[in-house]
A and B are shown apart, each in its own frame.
Chain A
């Protein structure tokens, strides 16, 4: 069974249709890159998979591990193993990062009928993951993302990914706002999480990120559809020729 099956998805925001029949199949262990110009619907796809309010699905379906994802609340999707790494992670003043991580992890475990993590086990786990991502301890005591640099925010997303151990990771424009060093640290963190049980969907505007996170498949989106799919070499082609060639195809 495929991990994620998006079939002929049609999505509206307010009165405007953004996705016009998008299909995508992702199997465990695969890394898919979704590329495309601004406004092609890449982020809309990630938001709809995560369950963000404000999007109206007017046609098609999304199956996750064979279940109807669109019937689930965002927290149910999270407990089932869907993880969206946000393009712009929000700042939550007054909620310490450590408290947030623990509340979230235990909420997911509770929803799956698993026992809550004990404090020492939790702390040990967070510390070791944080260390591997160069996240200093004092960052974990601060409010969630409050005063974090762009790179720190992205690393905090990857920290959560490592802690929650999702089966599907969607990385929405992970490279936006990162310099080359920050990008390398973040990409190393992501690569460390690649596994035969876990799939990743990497959404990006630029090919650059794919030098660090090498995909198995590349899909080009334009005007709300996948217009071309191929292997990792497709990303290089795009880098050379740009997106304009797909304008007519869409």
Chain B
């Protein structure tokens, strides 16, 4: 009885959000209909809760309670706050597109000299123009997951990035999400990146909050299509405010002989969930997913990956590390499915958690579903504290307790960070980890 009540309340509260925001959401006609369908699906499902297996450890009804109203478009003051926050996180020399409170901010972006091989349009422009095929792609994710459905219904802005066949883009493209902190509100964004055949590009996503930004909500999704022979390197750094929510979904599809290397690190947010579906749809492809959660206080971070091996001769390798202090709670759910035709698949998953406090919690849920008989698949999970004998050795060599811990933590997350190919981006991730370590004091 309680369940039904809770559901009704959520659905009720949320329908107000769409109604209030409708005039500000781009796209009419067919798009408005698709939004309506998605929203109805969300309203039916309500916020995910622990009795939904995929959300078992991240009960949004408990943790988030409700979805906040759509954030106002940023005014001059908001943009100024965002510009200040951007300084710490901007990567010198790279092309950058910035979303402030979920709205494209041209004044903070840098897209000069992109060349003819890269096309970038805002989601708003694309939804307001008449490209039906592209619209279909943007609405491709199913409405079966409540948070994806909510994002489909409410998406306000984002980017559609297209990289031409054969184009090799040497500099990373950086999408920066900034919450200006004007008022507690929600932002809904979606981006799509499509790499043509044999193209090569690097995408970085940063999530940050301006000073004073507190309990805001980020609802984001990323759609990735990697063409035959193409390669995408992807780095995702979540450094949101310590009271913020970040609910992000990704759907990645690889063609044949394609390569996807992705790294995610989470040091911010009160509650975050990153759920990615990676479909290996073409033969000879390779996926490397690496992730790090560095959490303390009452932070909760959930990484849920679903790797779908549909065809033969592909490989995937997942490395995940969590470092948890205080009452930090890290969740890693790794599901790998190897379908009957996907012979010669090599799939590996290794997740390790380091607990710095008795009250920290790490939940690891590996799920391997293997329907082919000629495959190499394996997974492992460990949880433990810092090794006392290593700590003593370092302290006997002059390192303070915090310095010794910091060095061992850096080594622990190092294996995952090492997977980042681009030197500058690896340094960026190391710097984010160091900021977390320094904040520990």
Binding site for B on A (CB under 8 A): 50-53, 73-75, 77-79, 84, 86, 89-90, 92-95, 99-100, 103-105, 107-108, 111, 143, 160, 164
Contact = CB atoms under 8 A, between A and B. Distances in A.
B398 A90 contact: no
30 contacts: A50-B396, A51-B396, A52-B392, A52-B396, A74-B392, A74-B396, A75-B401, A75-B403, A77-B396, A78-B396, A84-B396, A86-B393, A86-B396, A90-B387, A90-B389, A92-B394, A92-B411, A93-B411, A94-B411, A94-B415, A100-B407, A103-B399, A103-B403, A104-B398, A105-B398, A107-B399, A107-B400, A108-B398, A164-B397, A164-B398
A90 B408 CA distance: 13
A143 B102 CA distance: 44
Contacts of A78: 395-398
B414 interface: yes
A168 to B, nearest CB: 13
Given A92-B408, A107-B399, 9 more contacts: A52-B396, A75-B400, A86-B393, A90-B389, A90-B393, A94-B414, A104-B397, A107-B397, A111-B398
A84 B398 CA distance: 11
Interface in B94-109: none
B132 interface: no
B393 A89 contact: yes
B75 interface: no
A137 to B, nearest CB: 21
A73 B391 CA distance: 12
Nearest to A111: B398
A108 B407 CA distance: 15
A75 B392 contact: no
B388 A94 contact: no
Contacts of B395: 51, 73-75, 78
B151 to A, nearest CB: 37
Contact of A53 (B392, B393, B400): B392
Given A104-B398, A108-B398, A92 B393 contact: yes
A86 to B, nearest CB: 7
B398 A95 contact: no
B410 interface: yes
A90 B395 CA distance: 13
A96 B399 CA distance: 15
Contacts of A95: 407-408, 410-411
A75 B398 contact: yes
A52 B389 CA distance: 9
Contacts of A79: 398
Nearest to A95: B411
A28 to B, nearest CB: 21
Contacts of A51: 395-396
A247 to B, nearest CB: 32
Contact of B398 (A86, A93, A107): A107
B412 interface: yes
A92 B404 CA distance: 11
B129 interface: no
Contacts of A103: 399, 403, 407
Contacts of B399: 75, 103-104, 107
Nearest to B412: A94
A53 B388 contact: yes
A34 B377 CA distance: 54
A77 B400 CA distance: 11
A71 B394 CA distance: 19
Contacts of B404: 75
Nearest to B392: A52
